[in-house]
Amino acid sequence: MATAVKGAARTAPPLPGPERPRRIRVLSFSQRLSRWDVKVSPYLYISPFFLIFAIVGAFPLVYTAVISFMDWDQIRQSGEFIGVDQYAWILTQPAFWVALRNTFSIFLLSSIPQLILALFLAAVLDRNLRAKTFWRMGVLLPYVVAPVAVGLIFNALFADNSGQVNAWLGMIGIGPIPWHVEPFWSHVAIATMVNYRWIGYNSLILLAAMQAIPRDYYEAATVDGAGAFRQFWSITLPSLKPTLIFVIITSTIGGLQIFEEPRMFDQFGEGGSANQWLTITLYLYNLGWGDWNFGRAAAMAWLLFLIILVIGLVNLFVTQSLVGDDGGRGPKLTRAQRRALRREARARRAGRKELRR
């Protein structure tokens, strides 16, 4: 309404002659209300999210950093500044380094097979299947099973003496594996839980990206004589690059925070008698709500965040360089070549300046 009125007032030609009084534009109350509505509404609509985020997201983020520099007193609900002592304490704990090693080990054992199997499963689902939706749902099913439930079930499956997995392995002549004793085997068992829940989910994400690849590419490749593997390597993988990066980054953020599965891996939930499967988040929990030392837990939280950031960036670069680009950006140049090109351009520019002088 307001815009319509405004437009009319502006386009009306100014009438000559002193006898006609100049029209004064007066906005009625409803017009003013409408303008105010247009201006304020967007902020009003985004405010619930930002208000809640400020209270439960931004403020805790900053406050964690504050607490991490303190010796926090549970009872007085306050602390005194002690500088970086909490960080120094954590970094000198053998348990922290063990937890770091375990977290990485579990993360690698889960994310790499997960990605490969999800890619494979996505390629299978990408075929012209009957009952597509049924298979997709079947693959997604583990996603709705709570991680705690998965942990409890797999703890029983991976029992050391009489577990089902050891019984199966015994059938093919592999001796009972001490899943709850050896660090490496406990990591395998915990990684299996993670993989169980996420392979199907990730395969659906990759499947969606695969279906967005124009089929002409494959037709052209077939004409050129490329086999199935070559097509997968040279067309599918490069086209999936953005999605792969997304999947890898999210699985990094999730994988490094792993808590439920190791927590449920035995009845005590403290990461094993010799910290065999103690993870960073489990250690954070033990520091904060086992020892009730919030300063240390907060410092641990910030260290975890930094670790996630670093690994996320490393992943990004590795994926960027491992998986080729999906074409159209010209030949890839080495750094030396780029530098040479830049030097040339600079020389040309300098030359032009000389000429002008």
Partner 1 sequence: MTDLLKPDQAGGEATVAIVTPKDRHGRARRIRGIRPPWWIYGILVAVVLGSLFPLYFSFLIGSGDSSTLRDPNRSWIPLGNFFENAATVVNDPNVNFWRALWNSVWTSTVIAVAVVIFSTLAGWAFSKLRFPGSKPLLAFVVATMAVPQQLGVVPLYVMFAEFGWTGKAGAIVVPMLASAFGVFWMTQYLRQAVPDELIEAARMDGASMIRTFWTVGMTAARPAAAMLFLFTFVQAWNNFFWPFIVLDRQDPTLPVSLSLLQSNHFVDYSLVLAGVVLATLPLLALFVFAGKQLVSGIMAGAVKG
Is residue 77 close enough to count as binding partner 1 by CB under 8 A?
A: yes
Provide CB contacts within 8 A for 13, sequence distance 6+.
Answer: none
Query: Cα–Cα distance between 311 and 253 in angstroms, integer?
Result: 9
Nearest distance from C-beta of residue 281 to partner 1, angstroms: 6
Q: Tell me the window of 181-189, 249-257, 317-325, 333-341 that interacts with partner 1 (CB under 8 A).
A: 249-257
- Cβ proximity to partner 1, 54 vs 350, nearer residue: 54
Q: Is the Cβ–Cβ distance between 93 and 85 less than 8 Å?
A: no
Sequence-separated contacts (24+) of 77-83 with Cβ below 8 Å? 79/294, 79/295, 82/295
What is the footprint of partner 1 within residues 196-225 (CB under 8 A)? Answer: 196, 200-201, 204-209, 212, 215-216, 218-219, 222-223
Nearest distance from C-beta of residue 227 to partner 1, angstroms: 14
Q: Tell me the window of 106-114, 226-234, 290-298, 327-335 that interacts with partner 1 (CB under 8 A).
A: 290-298
What is the footprint of partner 1 within residues 301-330 (CB under 8 A)? Answer: 301-302, 304-305, 308-309, 312
- Choice from 7, 15, 27, 63 touching partner 1 (CB under 8 A): 63
Q: Is the Cβ–Cβ distance between 131 and 192 less than 8 Å?
A: no
> Which residue has 């929990």 as its token pair?
285
Helix (H) or strand (E) holding 184: helix 183-211
Query: Cα–Cα distance between 206 and 200 in angstroms, integer?
Result: 10
How large is the angle between the packed helices 183-211 and 94-125, nearest 10 degrees? 40
Is residue 245 close enough to count as binding partner 1 by CB under 8 A?
A: no
Nearest distance from C-beta of residue 248 to partner 1, angstroms: 13
Nearest distance from C-beta of residue 252 to partner 1, angstroms: 10
Is residue 243 close enough to count as binding partner 1 by CB under 8 A?
A: yes
User: Residue by residue, what is the 3-state secondary structure of 91-144?
Assistant: HCCHHHHHHHHHHHHHHHHHHHHHHHHHHHHHHHHCCCCCCHHHHHHHHHHHHH
Is residue 239 close enough to count as binding partner 1 by CB under 8 A?
A: no
Closest CA to 281 of 306, 300, 307, 308: 300
Is residue 113 close enough to count as binding partner 1 by CB under 8 A?
A: no
- Cβ proximity to partner 1, 131 vs 336, nearer residue: 131
Task: Give the per-residue contact string, 144-183, with partner 1 (x = CB under 8 A; - = no).
Answer: xxxxxxx-xxxxxx-x-xx-x--x----------------
Which residues, in sequence order, are bridge partners of residue 191?
none
Query: Cα–Cα distance between 331 and 325 in angstroms, integer?
Result: 10
- Cβ proximity to partner 1, 34 vs 93, nearer residue: 34
Nearest distance from C-beta of residue 97 to partner 1, angstroms: 19
Nearest distance from C-beta of residue 111 to partner 1, angstroms: 16
Is residue 89 close enough to count as binding partner 1 by CB under 8 A?
A: no
